């Protein structure tokens, strides 16, 4: 998602300056699609891998539901933020929040490794 935020900031700057070429927009849209689709696919695969096979379909459906509800609920705050600081700042904030969300995951992972090595 960090790469997606960089692409969105770049597109926003290009649109604001009027230096947009069709090939640039298409290549940025391709990169954005690959990064977003990759993240969504990874979440679905992780959800299915962490449950018993009999619950994999239900788990994948609930994960997809949570992702769609989260995307819907994020619309209002993102729109408000873009009206306050503009789209480039909004995309930068989104990228920073994405990077900050990785920190607890790394901490949990290292705690699990320490716990497993102590047993």
Number of structural domains the chain divides into? 1
Query: Which of these, 97, 68, 106, 79, lies nearest to 1 by C-alpha position?
Result: 97
pLDDT in tens, 10-20: 777 777 676 66
Whole-number Å distance between alpha carbons of 3 and 21? 20
Query: Which of these, 110, 117, 96, 67, lies nearest to 88 by C-alpha position?
Result: 96
CB 63 within 8 A of CB 47: yes
- What per-residue confidence (pLDDT) applies to 1? 57
C-alpha angle with apex 2: 23 to 68, nearest 5 degrees?
A: 95
pLDDT in tens, 77-119: 888 998 999 888 888 888 888 888 888 878 887 887 777 777 6
Per the structure block, which two tokens stand in for 61?
């459906």
35, pLDDT greater than 80: no
Note down the domain range covering 60.
2-118
Query: What is the share, in percent, of the chain residues with pLDDT greater than 70?
Result: 88
């Amino acid at each position: 998602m960090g790469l997606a935020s960089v692409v969105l900031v770049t597109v926003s700057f290009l649109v604001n300056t009027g230096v947009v070429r069709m090939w640039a927009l298409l290549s940025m849209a391709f990169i954005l699609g690959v990064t977003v689709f990759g993240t969504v696919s990874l979440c679905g695969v992780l959800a299915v891998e962490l449950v018993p096979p009999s619950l994999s379909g239900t788990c994948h459906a609930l994960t997809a539901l949570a992702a769609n509800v989260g995307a819907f609920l994020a619309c209002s705050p993102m729109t408000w933020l873009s009206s306050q600081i503009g789209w480039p700042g909004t995309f930068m904030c989104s990228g920073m929040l994405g990077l900050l969300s990785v920190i607890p995951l790394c901490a949990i992972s290292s705690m699990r490794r320490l716990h497993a090595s102590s047993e």
